[in-house]
Amino acid sequence: MIIKSRTHIPYLASDGESIMPIIPAKTVIFFPGETISLQVGRPGNLSLVNENVGKDMLVGVCFSPSGDPGSDDFDLCQVGTAAKIISAKDGPSDSKIISIEGIRRIAIRSIKGKNPYLSARVGFPDEKTGMQNEINRLSNAIVGIIEQITHVDPTYSDELAYVMKFNLGSPGQFADKIAAAFHLPLDSKQEILETMQIDARLARLLEFLKIEQERVAISYEIRKSVEENSAEEQRKLYLRQQLYEIRRQLGEELIEDKIAQQLRNEIKKNKLLPADVRDRALIEVDRLGHLSTASAEYGATKVYLDWLLNIPWNIHTKEDLNIDQIEEDIACEYYGSPQIKKQMLERIAVRQLSGGISEGPVLCLAGVPGTGKASLARAIAKAMHKKFFRISVGGMTDIADIKGSARNFPGATPGIIIRSLRDAGTCDPVIFIEDLEYFAEDATTALPMSLLEAIDPRLNSHFLDNYIGLSIDLSRAMFICAVKSVDGIPEMMTHRFEVIELSGYIEKEKIHIARKHIIPNVLKKHGLRRKDIIFSDKGLRRIIRSYTLEAGLLNFRRQIERICRHVAKEKASHVSKIWMVNEKTVEGFLGTLQYIPEKPDTAPEIGVAIGLAWTGLGGDLMIIEGLKMKGNGEVITTGSLGEVMKESIQAAHSYVRAKADVLGIDHNDFDNFDIHIHFPQGAIPKDGPSAGVTVSLVIASVMAERPIRHDVAMTGEVTLRGKVLPVGGIKEKISAAYRAGIPKIFVPKENKKDLKDLPADIIKKTKFIFIDTVDEVFARGLLDFSPSSYTLEKIFAQEIEKARNKKSASPAKKMPQVK
């Protein structure tokens, strides 16, 4: 595409038009009267050069700002310069270096062809002179600006203004030569080339030279300031060196020597420093003695020496541990699952037997906030008489955050691991690393691997921090990581982690922890005494049920803190009394109830069953509703359900349909009626297979038109053959049913072993019905109001008895004997 000139182009009628080869120039604006060298490499341009070199033939040179002239999509400025190719010689990569001389301006009227090279039909513009007085004024102004520019900018020759004065007799040539000699932008040069009126060309040139003058002036000021500052710094440095040498010759005590000697003595007295660290420190002290205290290098060297001497090299806590005593200490500080405490004691025992070094995988605690991850780590450190240090890696994006930055960078410091050791004062603290899932969100592979170098016992015996530059043994430190869920662990770390999942606390456990740990700590922080405020169990239970919705203890603690702040305010106002926090007074402290627990119905209903669910906030009731209506046998599901739960509903529907005869359901009903299964609280996503038992009972209820018992809750996964499989979160689910006052719970038989972690009062007050098949759920969950004495429960009892007799009567297969 031809880029038209910004101004009107008058043509010389006498010269007419001619066909001329065109060289598209990418990096230069070529003016008449100028001789330059160009490198050409495109096949078309090489053909053009070969045909026209050394001949009295004109070729056009036009600026091409974008595109490839060999393609259909390229740009070419309309105004260019007709030139002669003076000479050509071979260049690199099969190119040619040509010398060309500009003759006159040309203007492209149209493109004639592209093969074998670009050619165009061109005309010759008529350059008008204009008013002579205006030309003289502009020329004198241009000469003055040129003199100023060349005076302050060393990139221009001082003789440039003097040479240009020889061209004043030809104003057009004068403007062209100045535009070619100065470092003007390409679009500015092209605009000058396109201006045919001489006085207008000089005016545009003057504008562009003023802009260049401003740029040169700014550069000159900056360069002058830098030179002055450098000279002043050199002068001060020279004077300091003279003063230093004079004082040394006079025998005066220098502060540099005094500090260096103190550091040297400190290094020699420290017997715990490894040999390589001592050697490096002595080298740095010698350098420090030859530096001025005012120099930046002195400060950086002094800071580095301080780090070397403050790192606890070879400082360890005595590993003389009593496992029984540690068990008591952990039990005193941490209230949680005995199985988790057992795993902790096993790791500590292995560490003790291996001389204080852990060779196994890194311990990672997974649990929602408030489930005691940090408390457990702190209890371990206290029981082992070790320093506890807590760091967060959330938001780290650079390897330097972990391994430090090189000393040659301004403001360089060691990474967070070395800083933690310095603050702990020993090489074997318990370091608790949390927020690992946020650390992994934007991290590259290099960042988690850098952390693994520090915490993995296979790698950390020679951990190298980039700032310190010397290896340090981290194998005696105990690293404990923490995440909210197993999914938050970076993929490259999973194979080196031993994950221990911390489940949420049930209501009774929360009350116990509040009395033993939370309330005493909160009262102490708020300046209150135990006798100032009394919490009843019913009051704490009301806080848990109506003001918190969580598996952990964070919000529970915050609500207790709110109550204590209220009491502290009144006590500071000289109110003297004992504040009671019970079921009736909680609302006065905390305001309107924030959560209303879901309650079961008070009477049996058709198509309504009580399921049990586990969420990140703990156990909860899940009332599942079903409805039968005229249709085509479709199963409709609502309630923000995931794919696994939808498949579980389909499996339950298929099994109920297979048992239609036993349930007294007409087979045609499955083709003539639609079933709608709804899970309330539709804004909350739900997934998992554990509602299979509940959904099976709901579908059987709506199709058989039999009500479901309202005093029983249930959980369990269902197979297509009607088997009930075990599920997770049993402790939390049973706790939710207990809170709601449901006396009976259907539990998969294989989950019977999970009941041992439940409090004794829940086991005592709840009747557990262990189920192995869905038929047992139908027999005990559906109510039969039929007048027939042959009730549904009897039918299923007979079915179950037949299945058991058949199983016991079948002969056992003999295993083949291997000789």
Active site residues: 690, 733
Closest C-alpha to 129, from 197, 67, 44: 197
Alpha-carbon separation of residue 499 from 9, 361, 431, 773 (angstroms): 81, 9, 16, 33
Helix (H, G, I), strand (E, B) or coil at 674: strand
Alpha-carbon separation of residue 173 from 105, 137, 168 (angstroms): 11, 16, 8
Q: Which residues contact 248 (CB under 8 A, 6 or more apart)?
A: 254
Task: Kindly give the pairing relationship between strand 497-501 and strand 463-464.
Answer: unpaired
Residue written as token pair 């918190």: 548
Residue written as token pair 């002068």: 235
Handedness of CA 396, 398, 399, 405 (dihedral sign): negative
Q: Which residues contact 704 (CB under 8 A, 6 or more apart)?
A: 663, 664, 665, 782, 792
* Amino acid type, 52: N
How many CB atoms are closer than 10 A to CB 454? 24
Q: Distance between CA atoms of 611 and 713, rounded to whole angstroms? A: 6
Strands (E), 274-352: none
581 has which bridge partners?
Answer: 535
Q: Residue 694 in contact with residue 714, Cβ under 8 Å?
A: yes
Cα 375 versus chain centre, distance: 26
Handedness of CA 361, 367, 372, 378 (dihedral sign): positive
Backbone angles phi, psi at 746, to 5 degrees: -85, 120
Q: Distance between CA atoms of 27 and 108, rounded to whole angstroms? A: 19
Q: Residue 676 in contact with residue 636, Cβ under 8 Å?
A: yes
Closest C-alpha to 45, from 115, 111, 148, 125: 115
Q: Which residues contact 353 (CB under 8 A, 6 or more apart)?
A: none
Q: Which residues contact 573 (CB under 8 A, 6 or more apart)?
A: none
Closest C-alpha to 698, from 672, 679, 711: 679
Cα-atom radius of gyration of the chain, to the nearest Å? 44
Closest C-alpha to 30, from 74, 84, 87, 80: 80
Handedness of CA 3, 4, 5, 11 (dihedral sign): positive
How many CB atoms are closer than 10 A to CB 680? 13
DSSP string for 678-720: E-S-TTS-B--STTHHHHHHHHHHHHHT--B-SSEEE--EE-T
228 has which bridge partners?
Answer: none
